Structure 1
Amino acid sequence: MSSLALHRGLSMQRIGAMILRYWYLLLSSWPRLLELLYWPALQVITWGFLQLYIAQNANFFARAGGTLIGAVILWDILFRGQLGFSISFLEEMWARNLGNLMMSPLKPIEFLLALMIMSLIRLAIGVIPMTLLALFLFQFNVYSLGLPLIAFFCNLIFTSWAVGIFVSGLVLRNGLGAESIVWTLMFGIMPLACVYYPVSVLPVWLQYVAWSLPPTYVFEGMRALLIEGTFRTDLMLHALAINACLLVASFGAFLALLRSARKHGSLLSAGE
C-alpha cells in the first residue's frame, strides 16, 4: 500500500495529478492569467472611486468608511471562488475529456477536491493583487480585519464550492447548453445576499429568503465589524451551519447527476 493512498480510499497522487493538469493549463494561457487579474482590479478601482465620492458627500458613508470596498473584495471571493471551480470543470467539458476522467481510477470525490484546491489557486491570483491595490489607492487594508477575515473567507468559499459543485452537476447532466448557469447563478444570488446594503432594506418577505443564504450573514457581519467595531460570532456560526447543509446537498446532487449522465450516455456526448 502506497503511503500516499489508502486501500479503497482517497489518492493524493490522483488529486495532485489533476491539480497539476489545471495548473499547467492556467500557465499555458496568458489570457487566462490576465483575466484573473483584470476583473478584480477593475472592480476595486471602480467601486473605490465611488466610495471616495460618497465619503466626501455623505456623513454616513464617511463614518462607515471601507464598507463598499470591503463588500467588493468579499463579493469577489465568493464569485471567483465559484468561477475558479466551475472554469476548471468546464475546461474538461470543452476538451471532451470528462468521459476519459470518469472511466479512469479517479474518484468523483477526488475530482471535486482537486477542483476546490484549484479554485483557491485561481482566487489567490486574482484577489491578493486586488487587496494590495485597495491598500495602495484607497488606504483600505482588508487584512486589518484580523481573525474575523478568516471566518468571512471560509464561509464565502464554502458557499462558492457548494454552488460550483451543483452547477457543475447540472452542466454534466445537461451538456454545454446549460453552461450559462455557471456565469449567471451567482449574480442572481447577489441582490438577496445584501452585498452593498443591509437586509433591512429588503421587503419583509424577502428578508426571510435573504437569511437563508450564508453570504448574507457574512456581509452583515462585515458591516457590523467596520461600522460598529463588533464581530458577530452568531452570524458566522449560522452561516457555517447553512454551508454544511449546502455542501452535503451539493455533493449528493452532483453524484446523482453523474449517475444520471452515465445512464443516459451524456458523458461522451456533452455538447450543446
Structure 2
Amino acid sequence: MSEITTHRGISPHRIHAMVLRYWYLLMSSWPRLLELVYWPALQIITWGFLQNYISQTSGFFARAGGSLIGAVILWDILFRGQLGFSISFLEEMWARNLGNLMMSPLKPIEFLISLMIMSLIRLAIGVIPMTLLALFFFQFNFFAIGVPLIAFFCNLIFTSWSVGIFVSGLVLRNGLGAESIVWTLMFGIMPLACIYYPVAVLPGWLQYVAWALPPTYVFEGMRALLIDHVFRADLMVTSLAINVALFAASFAIFLALLRSAKRHGSLLSGGE
C-alpha cells in the first residue's frame, strides 16, 4: 500500500533530482552566475544614485526613507522570481528534453515544484548581493523592514510563479516562437503595478485594473511602511487572496495547455 501511495503522490526524490539537474547546469556556467548578479547590481547602483540626487532637491524624497531603492529591490524579486522559473523551463525547451521528461514518471506538479525551488535559488544569488550593495552605497538596510518583508516577499514570489507557470504553458503549447513572452509579459505588468509611484497617479478607469494585480498592493504597502511608517496588513491579505486565485488559475491553464501540446505533438518538436 505504501508503494502505491508513493507512486501516486508527489515524489520528493524526483523533485530533488530535477533541482539537482538545474543546479548543475547553473554551476557549470560562470556566465549564468555572473548574469544573476550583474543586472540586479546594475539596477540598484543606477537607481540608488538617482534617489540620492532627487533627495537633494526634493523634500518629499528626503523623507521617503529609501522608497525608490525599496521599490527597485521588490521589483527585482518579482521579475527575477518569474525569470528564474521560466529560464529553467526554457533550458528544457532549448535542449529538446521536455518530451523525455513528460514521458518519464515525473508528474507535472513535481516539475513545477522543482522550477519554483530553482526560482528561489536563482533569486537568492541575485538579490542578496543587491541588498548588500544598497546597504554599502546608500545605507539602506532592506532587511530592517522586519516582519512586513515576509508578507512583501511571499506575495511577490507567488505572483512571479503564477506568471511563470502561465507563460511556460504558452511556450509549451506554441513552441519557442512564443519565447519572447517570457521576457515581455512582466514588463507589461510593470506600469500597472505602480512600482515607483502611487495608484492615484493613474487615470481613474486604469486604477481598477491596477487594483486587480496583487503586486500593486505590495508596492502600496511598501510606500505606506517607508513613508508613513504604517504596515497595511489589509493590503497584504487582499494581495494574498488574489494570488491564491491567480496561482490556481495559472496551474489549471498550464495543465490544459500541456494536454493540448500532447494532442498536437508539440512536446517533441518545441521549435519555432
TM-score by length of 2: 0.98
Whole-Å separation in 2 of the counterparts to 1:60 and 1:240 = 30
Q: CA deviation at 1:191?
A: 0.2
Identity of aligned residues (%): 83
Name the aligned partner's letter for residue 246 of structure 2.
L
Q: Deviations over 1:151-176 (max 9, x none)?
A: 00000000000000000000000000
Name the aligned partner's letter for residue 98 of structure 2.
L
Q: Deviations over 1:101-150 (max 9, x none)?
A: 00000000000000000000000000000000000000000100000000
1:95 has 2:87 as partner: no
Matches within 5 A, 1:95-174: 95-174=95-174
Whole-Å separation in 2 of the counterparts to 1:147 and 1:192 = 26
Whole-Å separation in 2 of the counterparts to 1:101 and 1:128 = 32
Whole-Å separation in 1 of the counterparts to 2:63 and 2:72 = 18
The number of aligned residues is 271
Whole-Å separation in 2 of the counterparts to 1:118 and 1:241 = 24
Whole-Å separation in 2 of the counterparts to 1:39 and 1:125 = 12
Q: CA deviation at 1:65?
A: 2.4
3-state SS, counterpart of residue 268 of structure 1 = helix
Question: Pairwise CA RMSD of aligned residues?
Answer: 1.0
Moved over 2 A (4+): none
Name the aligned partner's letter for residue 98 of structure 1.
L
Name the aligned partner's letter for residue 148 of structure 1.
P
Partner of 2:50: 50
Whole-Å separation in 1 of the counterparts to 2:31 and 2:83 = 16
Whole-Å separation in 2 of the counterparts to 1:105 and 1:254 = 18
Matches within 5 A, 1:14-25: 14-25=14-25
Which consecutive unaligned segments of at least 5 residues does structure 1 have? none
Partner of 2:202: 202
Whole-Å separation in 1 of the counterparts to 2:30 and 2:231 = 40
Partner of 1:86: 86
Q: Deviations over 1:3-57 (max 9, x none)?
A: 9x72410000000000000000000000000000000000000000000000000
1:254 has 2:254 as partner: yes
Partner of 1:34: 34
Which consecutive unaligned segments of at least 5 residues does structure 2 have? none
Q: CA deviation at 1:2?
A: 7.1
Name the aligned partner's letter for residue 184 of structure 1.
T
3-state SS, counterpart of residue 216 of structure 2 = helix
